[in-house]
Amino acid sequence: MSAGTQSAQRPRVAVERAAGETVVTHEDVDRAHDRARVWKARSGHGLRAWAWLLWLLIGPGILVMLGENDGPSMLSYAATGAKFGVGFFIPFVILTFVMALVVQEMTVRLGAATHRGHAELIFERFGPFWGWFSMIDLGIGNFLTLITEFIAIRAGLGFFGVPAWAAVLLSLAVLYSALLSHRYWTWERVTLAAAAFNLVFVPVALLAHPDWSAIGHALGTWKPLPGLDKDTVLIVLSDIGATVTPWMLFFQQSATVDKGMTAKDIHFGRIDTLIGAGLAALAALGAMLAAAPLFGHISADSFEAAQFAQALEPIIGRFGASLFALGMVEAGIVAAITISTSSAYAFGEVTRRPHSLNLPVLEGKSFYAVLGLCAAAAAGIVLIPGLPLVFVVLVVNVVAVLAMPPALVFLYMLVNDKEIMGGVRSPRWANALAALVVVLLTAAGVLYGISVVAPQALARLGGS
């Protein structure tokens, strides 16, 4: 095995060298405690031991999937239901989560096999230029998305009469409070508990009394797109961008490393990601079905302040509308936590600075500074009056789709790099699925470009 292979495959250890001695850091001790519990659970037998091991190893996959069910995503799903009903979009949204599962499984293997974050690996394997490019590209996209998260929080709390400034301060307080433990395990469990509230959209959908026969028909027949114009293409790309985005690659791989997962844990990482995709798809369909009764009665484009809850109140009652609004708040807060963390991870990986949620503030000053300042700046922009919410969230999701194919090319090359992946590099079937995802995302981007540059050609394409 080459020196480069050994360097890539050994666990990343945060150490300091002083006078020729290796000093074990706070980060090492915390991660060692977590791994000791995993080792103990793995030595057990039976279903109980397996369930305990699963509990210890799940987290990054569920967080990344429910974290991507953020404010813009849930508004996109609600706008889809209000504007188009069910028909084409129920099976389509399920397909987007299958795409996300394919992509995120690769990040699990990459993080567990190399013990390196995504930006760090790009920096090491493709050079400083591409490392910095990926980090800056991610940072810009994340910041734009963070703005929409705080808009969603403001809109959700506004349903209860909370002023915009108070909503922003409250959300920042929750975000910063999640960091107080200086412990990845605690941060992960607290954030998971908050993320579970994303499922509130399921009872909201049930309160809307969905047409189950129409849903079954949509799943069984998959109707064609309801026309092919610029607005329809925008919704299609927005729903894709609500499920598959670049920050997810960076977050899950870095969280897998911060959790200390190894190649032996990949199977559980896949289960974790599958559970996350299933739960997130359920919540996404819930938001779409909750807003479906508005189809044909209102224009979803008119919700400048995301007042879906108010529009739904006559249909699902005050309680259901309140749940919808609280779901928007949860979606925004959890996504703000995970997205700002992904930016901090990428910054630390590229600049070679300490980057772990196991670090005390003084040892991880730059990591926590990037995380906190990104969130605070985005929250401040939200207080600017007159921001067109629905337009902003749809455009942010579209930008995420357009940025995804280049990110997937890097991921594809890394998971097929035999030197760093060894025996867990991608098999042919996984490469075929990944290539199909790249093709679909690229085709969606091209379709959107046609809708902007030559809408007449798009109309002719839709009519053919």
DSSP string, 23-86: EE-HHHHHHHHHHHHHHHHHT--HHHHHHHHHHHH-SHHHHHHHHHS-HHHHHHHHHHHHHH-S
| Best CA proximity match to 394, nearest among 288, 178, 240, 172 | 240
Backbone phi and psi for residue 427, each to the nearest 5 degrees, phi listed first: -75, 175
Q: Report helix, strand or coil for 22.
A: strand
Residue 29 has what pLDDT?
A: 72
The pLDDT tens digits of the residues spanning 350-373 come to: 888 888 888 888 888 888 898 889
- 16-54 CB burial, b ≥16 within 10 A, e <16: eeeeeeeeebbbbebbeebbeebeebeeeeeeeeeebbe
Q: Is the pLDDT of residue 269 over 90?
A: yes
The pLDDT tens digits of the residues spanning 115-129 come to: 888 888 888 888 888
- With 0-12 / 13-18 / 19 or more C-beta atoms within 10 angstroms meaning exposed / middle / buried, residue 129 is exposed
The pLDDT tens digits of the residues spanning 94-152 come to: 999 999 999 999 999 999 999 888 888 888 888 888 888 888 888 888 888 888 888 88
Average pLDDT, integer, range 410-421: 89
Query: Which amino acid is present at 224?
Result: P
| Tokens 């067109």 belong to residue | 388
Mean per-residue pLDDT over the chain, rounded: 81
Average pLDDT, integer, range 228-247: 79
The DSSP output letter for 322 is: H
Q: Is the pLDDT of residue 428 over 90?
A: no
Residue 5 has what pLDDT?
A: 43
CA distance 25 to 355: 13
Q: Is the pLDDT of residue 214 over 90?
A: no
- Give the confidence band of 391 by pLDDT, cuts at 50, 70, 90: low
What separation in angstroms does the CA of 217 have from each of 9, 88, 202? 49, 10, 20
Report the C-alpha dihedral over residues 104, 109, 113, 116, rounded to 10 degrees. Answer: 0
Query: Which amino acid is present at 292?
Result: A
CATH topology assigned to domain 41-463: Amino acid/polyamine transporter I (1.20.1740)
Residue 18 has what pLDDT?
A: 45
Average pLDDT, integer, range 400-416: 82
Per DSSP, what are the bridge partners of residue 24? Answer: 15
